[in-house]
Amino acid sequence: MEAWHSRRAWQLLEAFNAVTYFSPECREGPERLGLRGFWMGYFSGRAAPMGAAPPALVEATFYNFHPAMVRRALPNAWARAAPEDVVAVRSAGAAAALRRLAPDVEEAASRLLPVLRRVIEHGSVAGRPLFAANREVTTTGAVEGLWQAATTLREHRGDGHVAVLTGADLDGCEVHVLFSATEHVPPHVLQDARGWSTSEWAGAVDRLRSRGLLEPGGAPTPAGRRLHRDIERRTDDLALAPYRVLDEDEFGDMVALLGTVARDVHLSGEIPFPNPIGLPEPDGRW
């Protein structure tokens, strides 16, 4: 099994997780708990599997968000809603969105869950706090379980990605500047959604130029492109380990089933492209 297997799985699984950020059912749930605004729901929702996580812990694990964004949401969110309630409403909203967008999701969930749970059990929690916390979350309902499994594997990949980015000596803003330049994502898509000011973004550009990673005009240098490719390749490598429990036929069957749901989610138009979560536009392979 090669690194592209984990990238293919991520591209499909991310469609399941992405409804959490773009579907109305997922935005309405936190509001019913008294969480104010999208970002309070976002930070408390992703952090809730770790319990009432303090801001410093969320800053460390979420990494590429401006710390001020985190501290506007936490710990205030925990005075409004218990973490276990946030976990439950997040799962329920995501499952409702998936049922609306993908008519065959119930059948797919019943077949996918045993496979995804095997993959998750095969993953190591070492150095992966969000994966470890999400692996312990229990759900009721097949679609809820499918969404949680997709989210757990997404956080496994994300924890590894953070390790690679910090190993490349990139700070939270520099990460987005390099990604924007190499992937041709408009800066405002990432800058606005992650809380970096214009001056902070400009400072990150200057630092990357001084390292020889960006041209004076902001385009990536060959070294910048190479670093970005190395980061993505290493992330794929680290994300591959859990999938090694599957043989090629099992992996192919899993991808085919994931594709039936991911296709419906993508064709609904609910996920925008480009987007701040870094999910590329589908290439039509399901």
Instruction: Indicate whether 16 belongs to any domain.
Output: yes
Q: Which amino acid is residue 30, in one-letter code?
A: P
Distance CA 146, CA 17 (A): 10
Instruction: Indicate whether 198 belongs to any domain.
Output: no
pLDDT given at position 283: 75
pLDDT given at position 109: 97
**133 is in which domain, residue-wise?**
3-166+233-267
Instruction: Indicate whether 249 belongs to any domain.
Output: yes
Are 90 and 29 spatial neighbours (Cβ–Cβ below 8 Å)?
yes
Instruction: Indicate whether 204 belongs to any domain.
Output: no
Instruction: Indicate whether 286 belongs to any domain.
Output: no
| Backbone dihedral angles phi then psi of residue 195, each to the nearest 5 degrees | 85, 15
Q: How many domains is the chain built from?
A: 1
pLDDT given at position 7: 95
Instruction: Indicate whether 103 belongs to any domain.
Output: yes
Instruction: Indicate whether 227 belongs to any domain.
Output: no
Strand partners, 238: none
Contact residues for 21 (Cβ-Cβ < 8 A; gap 6+):
42, 277
- Is the previous residue joined to 24 through a cis bond, with omega within 30 degrees of 0? no
Are 123 and 85 spatial neighbours (Cβ–Cβ below 8 Å)?
no
Q: What average pLDDT values come out for the chain (286 residues) when binned by 10 residues?
A: 93 95 94 95 98 97 95 97 97 97 96 98 97 96 97 97 97 97 94 95 98 96 98 97 97 96 95 90 73
Closest to 1 measured CA to CA, from 245, 279, 180: 245
Distance CA 184, CA 26 (A): 29
pLDDT given at position 286: 57
Instruction: Indicate whether 28 belongs to any domain.
Output: yes
Distance CA 75, CA 203 (A): 29
pTM: 0.95
Are 209 and 178 spatial neighbours (Cβ–Cβ below 8 Å)?
no
Lookup: tokens for 71: 């501290």
pLDDT given at position 256: 96
Contact residues for 99 (Cβ-Cβ < 8 A; gap 6+):
105, 106, 143
Residue 48 per-residue DSSP state: G
Residue 70, H or E segment: helix 67-73
